[in-house]
Chain A
Amino acid sequence: MISVAGISKSFGNKKVLDDVSFTVEDGEIFGLLGPSGAGKTTLIRVLTGQLCFEEGQALIMGKKVTELSGQDKKSFGIMMDDFGLYERLTCYQNLRVFADIYDVSDDAIRSVLSEVKLLDSEKKAVSKLSKGMKERLRLARALLCHPKVLFLDEPTSGLDPQTSSEIHEIIKKRKEAGTIIFLTTHNMTEAEKLCDHLVLLNEGKIVEGGSPKELCLRYNHQKTIEVHTEDGKVVSFEMGKEDLEKTAEMIAEILKDGNLSTIHSKEPNLETVFMELTGRKLEV
């Protein structure tokens, strides 16, 4: 379990994390959703002991992050953009370096390379890999120690949909195996698809939290029903604004005429929720 209470962190006069609190349960994918510069990476750095903080308390598996031992850190898998790879070495050799540190067998290296679909490229130098393959190798490195907690900082940023989808599948499998996954992203589709719980972070502050579905329902003010008719028209009914009886009659009429193609409620997505709360877009 990860428990964060009232964490604040400043760089000079700029407060980058402001009274951040949340809890992550075991075997859960927790998302930190926010635009670039919101403080997501800083929070990962704080939680993994790379950065100290001024106020608050953060516990990982019952231990204060400021008191984590080397052995504790060996049970974390961390995938961050600025954690480089040895470009001259092959995929296998890159993992070999870390396998020596973690005392992990050759079989484990090949198993994790197979998991990220890089086994065929094990002898390829990293400098010759595509961006997607490099990201998968970074993920493989994070998975090598069989982590209890996996920190993923924008794991699919800039990747093609196919590679992103493959990475999502690996993340889900690790979750099923009981790993706590702490994910940062500015991609709302990724957050909706993967996260059990998430918080929206803006300028270092948590502005809202909950499951993606809860959040969308909580901010479903318009309660809109959208009807697509057979003759290609799209009719929207805002349940909060319009006369309910009149709306029911109109929908019934479309049904009677046999003109109904589809009918569904239209909830806001995480982007809309974020916009409503902060006035900012996520993907900036």
Chain B
Amino acid sequence: MSEATAIFRKQILDTRKNKTVLIQFILFPIMTIVMTNAVKMDDMPELFYLKLFSIMYMAMAPITSMSAIISEEKEKGTLRALMMSNVSPASYLAGVGVYDFLACMIGTVTMSNFCGMEGRSWYAYLLVIASGLVISTILGAAIGVMAKDQMSATSLSVPVMCLFTFLPMIAQFNDTVGKVAKYFYTEQLYRALSDINNVKIDAEGLVIIIANALLILGFFVLAFRKEGLTRE
């Protein structure tokens, strides 16, 4: 079995008993399902809660869970044991990253399917969320790599997560904030979902999303070069 697959299997075993990480994966899907069913108003936009919580889920869950998983392994010394068993940093990050992404995708598929999405518009929606999840997963990994322990991971991830999650929300009511928020991938993906049955990303939005992805990837590479996974 490859090292990345072994790490992936380990994550499945561990998350079942790790309530702090598990809640990240199930909180927004549950909230979406509950709110969609419980709050129904005549003038409410179509799939309002799905759009709102999807963006929150996409920005919050991978950042907090990735950084929590990596920083906990650093703090407890299990990461060091893995590295000494010939698990390369790339295999480790691939195992955890793919797991994190798939767990969030399962949540996304579940909540969107429950809200009645299907067909081409559903696939387009899933593609938009998947692209955001990939960027957020890399950002979460960068924070996990930078943080020495779980407490510092939380201190770093909370402001970053709030920035990427709430700025697009505030931008809807404040034009000045909107001028800044438009440069965030979360805002562009939120705009793409404005008509959820006709998902569209314009050229400017695509450039911003790609630029965000490259910047965050660069940030991850810098963090990894500086801190490594088990550097003394």
Contact = CB atoms under 8 A, between A and B. Distances in A.
B85 A102 contact: yes
A48 B84 contact: yes
A252 interface: no
Interface residues of B, number: 23
Contacts, number: 71
Contacts of B6: 97, 100-101
A195 to B, nearest CB: 24
A98 interface: yes
Interface string B9-35: 110011001100000000000000000
Contact of B86 (A71, A82, A89, A97): A71
B85 A98 contact: yes
Nearest to A75: B86
Nearest to B3: A101
Nearest to A81: B77
A100 B84 CA distance: 14
B78 A82 contact: no
B78 A85 contact: yes
B13 A93 contact: yes
Contacts of B85: 73-74, 98, 101-102, 145
B80 interface: yes
A84 interface: yes
A71 B84 CA distance: 11
The 10 A-B pairs with the shortest beta carbon distances in the complex, nearest first, are A84-B77, A100-B6, A84-B76, A70-B86, A88-B17, A83-B81, A82-B77, A97-B10, A84-B78, A100-B1
A74 B14 contact: no
The bracket for how many chain A residues form the interface is 20 to 34
Contacts of A87: 76
Given A71-B86, A74-B86, A101-B85, A82 B80 contact: yes
B84 A76 contact: yes
A100 B9 contact: yes
A86 to B, nearest CB: 6
Contacts of B78: 83-86
Contacts of A61: none
Contact of B14 (A50, A83, A84, A89): A89
A83 B80 contact: yes
Given A73-B84, A83-B77, 12 more contacts: A50-B230, A71-B86, A74-B86, A80-B80, A83-B78, A83-B84, A86-B14, A86-B76, A88-B14, A88-B17, A100-B10, A101-B82
B87 interface: yes
A103 interface: yes
B232 interface: yes
Interface in B61-89: 76-78, 80-82, 84-88
